[in-house]
């Protein structure tokens, strides 16, 4: 009952997870060239 698509709590939780995941990917793609430039 509480797990429907209209559940705003689940939606905001999903958005938070999506944003944090995207942030990790963004930071990773920014850092990898930087690190390879330093150590390469």
Run means of pLDDT, 10 residues per run, the chain, 40 residues: 65 89 93 90
For the question of whether the overall pTM of this predicted structure is more than 0.85, the answer is no
Residue 39, both tokens: 């150590």
Identify the pLDDT of residue 10.
76
Q: For the chain, first and last CA: distance in Å?
A: 54
């Amino acid at each position: 009952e509480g797990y429907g698509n209209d559940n705003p709590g689940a939606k905001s939780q999903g958005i938070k997870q999506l944003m944090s995941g995207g942030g990790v990917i963004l930071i990773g793609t920014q850092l990898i060239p930087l690190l390879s430039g330093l150590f390469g």
